[in-house]
Amino acid sequence: MFDPAAFPEPTLVPVNGVELEVFEAGRENAGKPVVLCHGWPEHAFSWRYQVPALVAAGYHVIVPNQRGYGRSSRPAEVTDYDIEHLTGDLVGLLDHYGYADATFIGHDWGAMVVWGLALLHPKRVNKVINLSLPYQERGERPWLEFMEEVFGDDFYFVHFNRRPGVADAVFEENTFRFLRNLYRKNEPPKEPRPGMALIDLARAEKPLGEPVMSDGELAVFVSAFESAGFTGGVNWYRNLDRNWHLLADVDPVVRQPTLMIHGDRDQVRKSPRPAAFVPDVEVVGLDCGHWIQQEKPEETNLIITKWLERHDAV
């Protein structure tokens, strides 16, 4: 297991009207930037196993806690967490370090932001590597409206929007239990039940499956969310339909070389046609669940570094 003390010390970087808590390594590799973008409810620390591997491979690694997380700014307005603000933060980060572009690696919601960045600021992205969440086709109806019809009112995306503040409060009352119960692997199958699954998970006394991380690693996440709360991160979900409207007139094709890594046991569905909007994509699967880079760190590192080696050699 990773020693939390070995993770880089953070600095606060002013970008785009906010401050981001940024963990940086490999400055000696200046000129080859890689930016790692976490998901929900995560933290820059979720990339702890990738940082040294990427530095060893010759990259300048930049890992922000994105707005709403850790010691980064937590604006009060929900709309301050839309895709324009989130991608604007990453553009500001590139400007801060003096880079015209970079390779961006995202997991979960971080992948959603990286997809959006490639569409809204294509010249700032030279390669895309995303984990878990495939490219989301925009479709003819707002995403939330579609989800509500298909998955119902208790689906967490819908619940976060229709009942603002309810889930946030439960997570904050049960921070340790929620994160302990969420970060699991090899969970036995369970029957669907009525109610909001994540609220039930936050209140469950016993976790299922095996822990993804050690007690010391989990403590980093728990401490961060006890301090920052969950509302900032949940506000990303509350901009889903706003993002759908903001992307209406944008070229929907991701033209950068792209690597998509799935967990074969992840509940996030794979794209049935990954090349439809991402023509230069390579898709790889690993035998794991949702927390790909934490469940299979060595395999993830090897796939990423070998893919980068091939594409940087072109």
3-state secondary structure 41-68: CCCHHHHCCHHHHHHHCCCEEEEEECCC
The CA-atom distances, in angstroms, between 225 and each of 4, 218, 230, 231 are: 16, 11, 6, 10
Respond yes or no: is residue 108 known to be catalytic: yes
The CA-atom distances, in angstroms, between 170 and each of 224, 237, 243 are: 16, 17, 26
Contact in structure between 157 and 237 (CB atoms under 8 Å): yes
CA dihedral (166, 167, 172, 177) in degrees, to 10, reads 140
Of the candidates 38, 262, 290, 311, the residue annotated as catalytic is 290
Q: How far apart are CA 312 and CA 38, in angstroms?
A: 23
Bridge partners for 159 per DSSP: none
Q: What's the N-to-C CA distance of the chain in angstroms?
A: 35
Respond yes or no: is residue 290 known to be catalytic: yes
Q: How far apart are CA 243 and CA 113, in angstroms?
A: 10
Q: How far apart are CA 263 and CA 261, in angstroms?
A: 7
Of the candidates 82, 89, 108, 266, the residue annotated as catalytic is 108
How many other C-beta atoms lie within 10 A of the C-beta of residue 197? 15
Q: Which residues are known catalytic residues?
A: 108, 290
